[in-house]
Chain A
Amino acid sequence: QQQVKQSPQSLIVQKGGISIINCAYENTAFDYFPWYQQFPGKGPALLIAIRPDVSEKKEGRFTISFNKSAKQFSLHIMDSQPGDSATYFCAASPYNNNDMRFGAGTRLTVKP
């Protein structure tokens, strides 16, 4: 069973719209929450990551929102572009531990 639950499985957004992908976890030992972006034929690449001491982190058009009490975190892509079309994975790992747990992935399509 997956320790990190990700939704939706797929998402279609118009160019310029906001893409929102959600993840939830149970293990309170998790304290590092990265998002990875994967284009077809490529391996995943780190997009943005957050630690639970902050509730939000923004890098350009990408924002992670983190709700520690609800054990949920989400990725928001503002002004979505066709070049953002990719599969996005959320992940979580405990401190000082190599055991990273990934969500099932969300295939994002941004229509021009």
Chain B
Amino acid sequence: DVKVTQSSRYLVKRTGEKVFLECVQDMDHENMFWYRQDPGLGLRLIYFSYDVKMKEKGDIPEGYSVSREKKERFSLILESASTNQTSMYLCASSSGLAASTDTQYFGPGTRLTVL
């Protein structure tokens, strides 16, 4: 069974703080993704990584950065958190060459509130 875990289920931070969201997958998947989920907007891709130290911008990368130093771990970083980054953050992984080749497996999500 593929397992994608996220470091926190709930997180409350203050405006201007640096925030780290961690994601770990245990299936040796090449691809990892960070999405944010907002009501009425569905899931929007922030960044993805297809290999260690490799990253690509998704639909909404502004205000975020990512780090992938090890294959199993993908971190999302909010350099200076703002209230409009309050959201549910979902991490996913897949083993294929592309989203159209293989299933994305999602973690349970981190609900981030920025005050």
Give the number of chain B interface residues (Cβ < 8 Å): 29
Cβ < 8 Å to B, chain A residues 50-89: 89
Is A41 among interface residues, defined by CB-CB distance under 8 A?
Answer: yes
Chain B residues within 8 Å of A36, by CB: 106
Chain A residues within 8 Å of B41, by CB: 2, 104
A42 in contact with B108 (CB, 8 Å) = yes
Give the number of chain A interface residues (Cβ < 8 Å): 30
Chain A residues within 8 Å of B4, by CB: 43
Is B11 among interface residues, defined by CB-CB distance under 8 A?
Answer: no
Cβ < 8 Å to A, chain B residues 21-61: 31, 33, 35, 40-45, 48, 50, 56, 58-59
Chain B residues within 8 Å of A99, by CB: 45, 58-59, 99
Q: Given A32-B100, A44-B90, decide whether A98 and B106 contact each other with a Cβ distance below 8 A.
A: no
Distance of A34 Cα from B96 Cα, bound (Å): 15
Distance of A104 Cα from B41 Cα, bound (Å): 5
Distance of A93 Cα from B42 Cα, bound (Å): 15
Distance of A44 Cα from B23 Cα, bound (Å): 15
B82 to chain A, nearest CB (A): 22
Is A100 among interface residues, defined by CB-CB distance under 8 A?
Answer: yes
B99 in contact with A100 (CB, 8 Å) = yes
Q: Given A89-B42, A93-B98, A93-B100, decide whether A43 and B48 contact each other with a Cβ distance below 8 A.
A: no
B90 in contact with A43 (CB, 8 Å) = yes
A43 in contact with B40 (CB, 8 Å) = no
Chain A residues within 8 Å of B109, by CB: 42-43
Contact partner of A44 among B31, B43, B45, CB < 8 A? Answer: B43
Q: Which 8 A-B pairs have the closest CB atoms?
A: A43-B106, A32-B100, A102-B42, A102-B43, A93-B99, A100-B99, A104-B42, A96-B98
